[in-house]
Amino acid sequence: MKRREIFAGNWKMYKTYSDAEKTIKSLVEGLGNIGTREVVVFSPSPYAKACVEAAKNSPIAVGMQNMYFEDEGAFTGEVSPIMVKDCGCKYILIGHSERRHVFGETDLDVNKKAKLALKHGLDPMVCIGELLEEREKGTTSEVIKRQIDGAFDGISPQEALKIVIAYEPVWAIGTGKVATPEIAEEVHVLVRKLIAEKYDQAISDIMPILYGGSVKPDNISGLFAQENIDGVLVGGASLEANSFLSIINV
C-alpha cells in the first residue's frame, strides 16, 4: 500500500488573525492538482478556528501546535484536546524540538499528549530529532530510539496507525542548515526499522515519516525523492503562501 504523502506547515508564533486567514485563502487558491497528497497547516491556537473556516471544502487540514495532557482543569494558559477538536482541527503537533528544548517537555509528556490526542480522535504528528552535540558524539541512533520508545509506549498497533512521525534534526531547525537527503534518509530508515521492531513490518511500511528542518523550495526535490521521506514539516518557508505552494506542488 502506498504511504500517505503529507506536506505540513508550522507557523509557530507568527501572524495576526487577518494574516492567517489571508494565507489560508491564498493556499487554497494556489493548490494545483495534488491528487491524494495531504496539506496541513499548524496555526497559532487563537487563529485555528478562522483557518478551519478559510480552508473549508479544500484539501487543507488544520492543526494546533501544542496541547496539554488533561481534558480540562486549572491549567492557566494551556489548551486541551477537547478545545483543539472543538475548533475543527484534525491534527495536533506533539514534541516539537522547541517544546522539548525551550519549554522542557519530556518523552513522558510527549507520550501522555499522544495518548490523549488519540483518545479524542485527533491525529498526532510526533516530532523527534537529535541535538548537534548528539550527532557529533555519534549518539543519533540512541536518541531517536529513546524518543520513539517514549512516544509510543502503551500505544496499540491500531492507534499507532493514526500517528505521523516528523524527523527534525534540531541543528537544522531555523538555522538555514539542512540535512542532506542522504543524512535524512538514513535516519528515516532507522525510524522505520524501530517501528517495525516495536510493532511489525506492515505498520512500519505504511507509517508516514516526514522530514523537517530548514525545508525550502530549493531543497524539497532532493529530500522528497528519497524512498523513506513521505513529506515534510516546514517552518519559516510555510509562512508565505507562494513559498509553501512551491514546496507542496513539487
Q: How many angstroms separate the Cα of 27 from the Cα of each of 165, 225, 242?
A: 24, 23, 8
CB within 8 Å of 240: residues ≥ 6 apart: 23
Q: Does 168 qualify as catalytic in the annotation?
A: yes
Residue 185 is among the residues annotated as catalytic for this protein = no
Contacts of 66 (CB under 8 A, 6+ apart): 45, 79, 92, 93, 94, 96, 99
Backbone φ and ψ for 68, nearest 5 degrees, come out as -95, 165
Q: What distance in Å separates the CA atoms of residue 217 and residue 175, rounded to the nearest whole number?
A: 16
Q: Which of 38, 96, 134, 185 is catalytic?
A: 96
Q: Annotated catalytic residue: which of 5, 134, 168, 185?
A: 168
Cα 34 to Cα 236: distance, rounded to the nearest angstrom: 22
Which residue's entry shows cell 488519540?
Answer: 118
| Cα–Cα distance for residue pair 81/76, rounded to 1 Å | 15
Integer CA distances (angstroms), 145 to 107, 148, 224, 232, in order: 11, 5, 23, 21
Q: Which amino acid is at 59?
A: P
How do 209-212 and 231-234 pair as beta strands? parallel
Side chain identity at residue 75, one-letter code: F
**Residues with catalytic roles:** 96, 168
